[in-house]
Structure 1
Amino acid sequence: MPAFDLPLPDLEHHRPEPDEPADFDMYWAAALKEAAHRDPLVSVRPVETGLRLTRTWDVTFRGYAGDPIRAWFSLPAGARKPLPAVVEYVGYGRGRGLPHERLTWVNAGYAHLLMDNRGQGDQYGSGGDTPDPHTALSGGPGPAVRGLLSPPDYHYRRLITDAVHAVTAVRSLPGVDPLRTAAVGNSQGGGLALAVAGLVPDLAAVLVTAPFLCGIRRSLELTDAGPYGEIAAYLSVRRGSEETAYRTLSYVEGVSFARRAQAPAHFGTGLRDTVCPPSGVYAAFNRYGELSGGAHPRKEIHVYPFNGHEGGEAEQVRRQLVWLESQLADRSPCDRHAPPIDGAAFGSGR
């Protein structure tokens, strides 16, 4: 696929006017308020994975409307003090899979929480374990169009709320330094991490590659690939519903979350990406932190001119590892004589 979006010099200055409803902040305050005073954790149970260098727990935490959300939580075996945490969000149609599939962050020395996607997990990977009890709401079968014509019922209101509560959950787990928590994701996962950056003011860092739900109107005009294609197909049948759908989508626009973010940010995009077009990524990057209230947060973006949705793959991950270490490194001396963090710290069968 040849480059199809704006030329790179134009992308670097691409700052479209925000497509943002006046009650954007009220919408999200209402969505997040329900679970604000509840214990975030439902259960934390150890899992035998066969891995000697990693310890893993099956975590259930409370998400949107108190719904139980599954996640894998992993620590490096023998960790002796609270570690910075990486909360990772997975792509569209994926679930959390199996606990041994995503080991990069825990192998780098971080506490790692991998959130399941409610009502997804049946398109790619090794599946998921979190149903969405609200799927009877109006809309098509795909997550991108569930509840699309009603802002309070839209799938991403629930999923983004889950993503925010995942940060609260990981901060309450033993072995985690709550002041050093990062949100990470690619594609849909990148869109969720960006939303978390806009909704969690004390996040320590955010890393997003090819984030979905950025520059949504333009992306729908540019591509029929992936989730945007599902939205286009849905509206091709429900003629005349476009503005209603656009209003719903404006509440989950990644550029609006980016404007409110305060954490240092690491972005990545492929210029031939037809799934999450680079103009959407740059719209979020160029406006990132502009409403943060003080000095703009540090940010950088890595561009892959001949790559599509796969972006920089392992090269991008290498850059993320180096960058995140510079943001979250613990520069205090390591207590080598402290005992390892014991499984008993998680309670018995919680």
Structure 2
Amino acid sequence: MKSHTLDSIKISAGFWKELSQLNIPAHDVVRKSRLPLTILSGTNGVTTAQYFALLQTLSEMVDDPATSIIKSMTDLETTQLSPSVLAAYHARNYRDALHRISRYKQMCAPQSIHITEKGELCTIEQEWLYAEQPEPPMLVGVSLAFLLELGRRGAGHSLTAYAVEFTGQMSNVQVLEAYFGCHIRLGAERNRLTLHRSDLNCPFISYNAELLEILTPALDRSLDEQQRSNSITEMVKWIMKRSLAAGRPDIQIVASELGMSDRTLQRRLTDLGTSFKQLLTEARHVKALEYLADPMLDLKEVAFLLGYEDQSSFYRAFRSWEGDTPSNWRAEQLGTNPLTEDSRNMPAIH
């Protein structure tokens, strides 16, 4: 069984900043993607499906996706790189950088990067662990362009790719071919970047041994802790979500399904800095947003599916999560009338 992150992607402030530079209002992208506006706060992550929806909408809103992909690379500021990417930028050489990206990428998103060296070539493919839809063209373009840009910035000269393949279609391919320095194949079996293997030996002028001595152990510890944490918390929340409609999940039942006692489970969750109650709240919050996005479910049904004994308890919990009533939140996201729904779902007053 693979060890991977939860289906959660933290959208960086740089993403919204880039939208601003493209003169595209972030609110418009979120609304057209049919996603909750709460993701703009950056507090919670988004799922792979939500992330794909955002990038698909963005691909459709920009005038020329290919030009936007190149611009995102030329505007890339190394001073704003995350620690995991910073470690790759200051690696010993291009090969070391790529393997650091492959190792630490899973700390940022549920994604694996596969690097294969054979003969004179090196192929790089990316796998989204929870993807149910094809990867949006703009996301593919940015991801592959970044891997080449990393080599160029580190080596200090313009490396070119051997080949680039996209499973989907891309307009203005000539612009991308000029950037990658090679032919681009559309409608391929996989999204793939193929490099000249000899380029992997290029030493990085940005190599910083002292910084890596600090970053590498810290990143390795964080990755190990995250993997241990996710292996437990992911399973607990998965069991909770599956059994919510039958009532409030019981710690004894969840622990039994995990093959341990309730005391052992509680102790392990405490060691990870969380609790059964906290995970239950998180599971209910996530499922509440999913259910409310479905206009076919009324609020009474949502409360029942979340395992609340009465609708008032659901209302109070939702206010603590989102600072608003479920009906108002749904109205803002779906453009419905909250007064009409409130009149249908208002708890009875005796």
**Higher-strand-fraction structure:** 1
Q: TM-score, normalised by structure 2?
A: 0.26
Q: TM-score, normalised by structure 1?
A: 0.26
Structure scoring higher RCO (CA < 8 A, sep ≥ 6) equals 1
- Higher-Rg structure is 2
